[in-house]
A and B are shown apart, each in its own frame.
Chain A
Amino acid sequence: MFEYCTDPQELEGLTWLSCYLTTGVHFLFYWAFGKVLLLLAIAAPSALAFGFLGAMAARSLIAPLRWFGKAYISVVRGVPDVAFFLFFVIALDQFFEWTRHQVKCPDWDQPIRQGNDFLVCPAAKLPLNTAPEWQHETYGFLLAVLTFAIVFGAFAANVIFGAMKAVPRAQMETAEAYGMTRRQSFWRVMVPQMWVYALPGLSNTWMVLIKATPLLFLLGIEDIVYWARELGERRTARFSDYPHEDWRMWYFLALLIFYLGFTLLSETVLRRLQLRLSRGQATAAGEAQRKTAK
């Protein structure tokens, strides 16, 4: 990166470190932090959407839809979540390939599960065997995002379902007294008011989501954990311009600091958001704000 980095053997101290930390592989490591943030940026809204749909389904008037919603909410309970991650990432992949197989190769006569193999016709492979490397990586990443969205969607659904029930009954009755239909009172009265009740639970979910991001490693993504392990390994002068001892401990210390900082930052932001959302609400926090404002 820097001009003085042409001959690392000559360097010492901070200049050596500045060169070491700006090698090409280190930029892959930094890019992996971007991947974590990207995962959060996509997975959090989609989990929220899944959660909202799940909660709507759970309070639906149509029985099968309600059962589905309730089952979805309670499916994450009682079982270690890591198992869900490992399960969904294979199951989703097989589901997509199986669906494409049914559409693209209707006259394929061999069974898909042959002993220990899962075989679909070549045209149904996802991504195709001929696809470039980046498509494989993107597909893997999207599968991971979808897995996160499904698992955390169930958790968000639980929170939102509770929040919808927490909206004061009198508010809904007033809406009915004004002659609003069920749909109108849902969208105009319940949904705007439920967020303040949902926020503590959703903040908790967000914190848990942050702390779940290293599990990307288990889903086969080259994430920060992967690179911390790779880069920290002992290098000898024969194989590397920058020989060093086993530094994995320091790399993981850096990850610990990253996550701690991220958690603290989120806590501050969420506390402000809670204050903002409590404004004008019929809750203790809203009442306290009203009194101080006077």
Chain B
Amino acid sequence: MSCYETIADYAFRSLGFGERLLPRSDFTLCQHFVLIGSGLIWNIYFGTVALLTGFILAITMALGKASTQPWLRWPAEGFILLFRGTPFFIQCFFAYFVFLSLKGSYAFFDSFTAAWLGAVIVLFLNTAAYSGEIFYGALRSIPKGDIEAADAYGLHGWKRFRRITFPTMMRLGWPAYTNEAIFLFHTTTLVFFSGFPARQQAGDALYYASYFADKTFNPFVPYPILAFYFILLTLCIIGVYSLIGRRLNRHLPQETRAKFRFRPQLIR
């Protein structure tokens, strides 16, 4: 079987299209590359959706935590503590079984036990907590002078937030948020190992990598391929985020811009 046929058969295997049966023996390098790459679609989907939705909740949480009103501050603090203080792996298991028991009682929760929705919800809450903490830190480190200048110009309330506080918060928090985005994508590899079933063996990149490793008993081929894909993905994320970061910093001289530093934080 040529590599073109493999691509035709397996390129979208992770979404349920193409050949149903996974290869069982005589694995070729091409099959490794195509199937693991096919699984990567899931990782990109999980990461992108969770990041986009989580961003809004993260801003809310950051503002809530910085609020002077206790009834706003405590829920935000509790939320951030809960999701940052427990392992994502356990959160996923817990959420899956909660959805499973809800599904028994209400038909509405039918699709929540599937990874495409259930896992995205957990990832969304998780990234909202982590990035909420980042933006809270950024909010606290806004220079006093900026706020005073806004006051002097007569800006207050929503206008001051939109014109001064929010852009500065984004600018200061952006390097840390880039790291958060990278590790969110890495975290997505845990989803199919934590309760959420991979229906018809349609899983993510790590799912297929461990499938190959189990079948061939040779970890030295699939995992480096997975690593290769993720390094590419990481580079893409850094590229996109530094474009946005550059736009956020466009009014500043080069040296004073907050620089992105790659800081690995491993599992959450």
A residues near B (Cβ < 8 Å) are 76-83, 86-87, 90-91, 94, 113, 115-118, 151-152, 155, 158, 204, 208, 210-215, 217-218, 225, 228-229, 232, 246, 248-249, 252-253, 255-256, 259-260, 263-264
**Given known contacts A91-B219, A208-B268, A81 and B186 CB-to-CB distance under 8 angstroms:** yes
* Distance A82 CA – B193 CA, assembled complex (angstroms): 10
Known contacts A82-B190, A118-B218, A208-B268; 11 additional CB pairs below 8 A are A79-B186, A82-B267, A87-B219, A90-B213, A211-B86, A211-B87, A211-B267, A214-B89, A229-B93, A232-B97, A263-B86
CB distance from A90 to the nearest CB of B (A): 4
* Distance A212 CA – B264 CA, assembled complex (angstroms): 14
* Distance A77 CA – B234 CA, assembled complex (angstroms): 10
Cβ of B189 within 8 Å of any chain A Cβ, yes or no, is yes
Q: Which residues of A contact B17 (CB under 8 A)?
A: none
* Distance A149 CA – B120 CA, assembled complex (angstroms): 31
Q: Which residues of A contact B172 (CB under 8 A)?
A: none
> Are B213 and A86 closer than 8 Å at their CB atoms?
yes
* Distance A179 CA – B100 CA, assembled complex (angstroms): 70
0 or 1 for each of B205-226: is its CB under 8 Å from A? (1 = yes): 0100110010111111001001
Specify the main secondary structure of chain B where it touches its partner. Answer: helix
Cross-interface CB contact of A246 among B82, B100, B218, cutoff 8 Å:
B100
CB distance from B235 to the nearest CB of A (A): 8
> Are B231 and A79 closer than 8 Å at their CB atoms?
yes
Give the number of residues in B that approach A within 8 Å (Cβ atoms). 43
B residues near A (Cβ < 8 Å) are 25, 81-82, 85-91, 93-94, 97-98, 100-101, 186-187, 189-190, 193, 206, 209-210, 213, 215-220, 223, 226-227, 230-231, 234, 262, 264-268
**Most B CB atoms within 10 A — which of A76, A94, A208, A214?**
A214
> Are A91 and B267 closer than 8 Å at their CB atoms?
no
**Given known contacts A116-B216, A204-B265, A211-B268, A256 and B97 CB-to-CB distance under 8 angstroms:** no
User: Can you offer 15 A-B residue contacts whose CB atoms are under 8 A?
Assistant: A76-B264, A81-B266, A83-B189, A86-B213, A87-B219, A90-B219, A117-B217, A214-B89, A215-B89, A229-B93, A246-B101, A252-B90, A252-B94, A255-B94, A259-B87
Q: Which residues of B contact A253 (CB under 8 A)?
A: 94
CB distance from A245 to the nearest CB of B (A): 8
* Distance A212 CA – B262 CA, assembled complex (angstroms): 21
Specify the main secondary structure of chain A where it touches its partner. Answer: helix
Q: Which residues of A contact B100 (CB under 8 A)?
A: 246, 248-249
* Distance A94 CA – B219 CA, assembled complex (angstroms): 10
**Given known contacts A86-B219, A116-B216, A79 and B86 CB-to-CB distance under 8 angstroms:** no
Q: Which residues of A contact B86 (CB under 8 A)?
A: 211, 256, 259-260, 263
Q: Which residues of B contact A116 (CB under 8 A)?
A: 25, 215-218
Q: Which residues of A contact B193 (CB under 8 A)?
A: 82, 218
> Are B85 and A263 closer than 8 Å at their CB atoms?
yes
Cross-interface CB contact of B98 among A78, A204, A249, cutoff 8 Å:
A249
Q: Which residues of B contact A225 (CB under 8 A)?
A: 89-90, 93
> Are B266 and A155 closer than 8 Å at their CB atoms?
yes
Q: Which residues of A contact B219 (CB under 8 A)?
A: 86-87, 90-91, 94
Q: Which residues of B contact A87 (CB under 8 A)?
A: 213, 219, 223
**Given known contacts A80-B206, A81-B186, A90-B217, A264 and B85 CB-to-CB distance under 8 angstroms:** yes
Q: Which residues of A contact B189 (CB under 8 A)?
A: 80, 82-83
